[in-house]
Amino acid sequence: MPMIATTLEKNECLTEEFFERFQNTLSALVSNEEFKKAQQYPVVVTGGLKIDTFAFQRWVDKKYLYVVETLYDNQGFKIQLVNDKNRLNSICREQSMADAAEGCVDEHA
């Protein structure tokens, strides 16, 4: 994930494409009959502060996603109930604010 965060940080224009890939993957998961039998909602982990900042927060700012409710928020760790832009799927997102991209090598340097 560190390279994704670095790429998104430097190329805001990729925000929509990354969201579409995320949404397509999530849609395939929630339409899987075996998944639906076992789970009411998928759990998505952002993978660090940079992914939260340069992907999730941008998606919220652009209204691709809506935070319905923050279920837990303590010391940089959040659990949120989120709706997508079409309000078709509710997802529970688990977020660690520890920066997973810290110390990554910048491929553009």
52-77 residue pLDDT tens: 888 889 999 988 888 888 898 887 78
- Return the sign of the alpha-carbon dihedral for residues 101, 109, 57, 42: negative
Distance CA 46, CA 95 (A): 5
Angle at 71 between CA 69 and CA 74, to 5 degrees: 125
How far the first Cα of the chain sits from its last, in Å, is 18
Residue 83 · residue 74 · CB < 8 Å: no
By CB neighbour count within 10 A (0-12 exposed, 13-18 middle, 19+ buried), where does 28 fall? exposed
How many other CB atoms sit within 10 Å of the CB of residue 59? 20
pLDDT band at 51 (very low <50, low <70, confident <90, very high): confident
> Which pLDDT score is estimated for 86?
62
Pairing of strands 43-45, 90-96: parallel
